[in-house]
Amino acid sequence: MTSAAATVHAGSNLHDESIVLQPEKTPAAGEGSRSLGGGSFTTTYQWRGNGTVLLNLRHPAILAGSRVFASVSEYNTAWNADRFIGNAFIQVLNVSPYNGGVWVRLSCGWSSPINNSISLLVDP
């Protein structure tokens, strides 16, 4: 482990070890892959808390048959400016779209509330 200058964040602090992963072979078109449709979009929601929760993220363009991909990260003061990976274990556990939104079960393993930014990629 190498020492680096410490960056202080609100919530949990960045760990100075990381694991580098190489991508798997991306399937060619027609090999079981499906492109995103022209109506695909991204959106972001913010939640401050900790523990395991079931979030109801409403959006009129999400349908029960939509493909919805969710990710979560911690942020300091602005979700679009200072997201980081800290020592808190934050996980998206389940994603279930419905007509008008998506249910996301999220687990934030920290002893006090921290800022969480949930990003969605939606292919209606």
Question: Mean of the pLDDT values across residues 86-111?
Answer: 96
Give 2's pLDDT tier (boundaries 50, 70, 90).
very low
Out of 2-16, 58-72, 82-96, 103-117, pick the least confident: 2-16
Q: What phi-psi label fits residue 60: left (phi over 0), alpha (psi between -120 and 50 degrees) or beta?
A: alpha
pTM: 0.76
Tell me what pLDDT residue 3 has: 45
pLDDT at 56 over 90: yes
Question: Mean of the pLDDT values across residues 73-95?
Answer: 95
Q: For residue 122, what are the contacts with CB-CB under 8 A and spacing of at least 6?
A: 40, 41, 42, 43, 59, 61, 62, 66, 67, 68, 69, 97, 102
Task: Give CA–CA dist 112/72, Å, rounded.
Answer: 17
Which residue has better confidence, 121 or 27? 121
Sketch out the chain's domains with CATH numbers.
41-123 (2.60.40.2080)
Q: Helix H segments across the chain?
A: none
Provide φ and ψ at 111, rounded to 5°: -75, -15
Tell me what pLDDT residue 119 has: 96
Residue of 79, 57, 83, 60 lying closest to 69 (CA atoms): 57
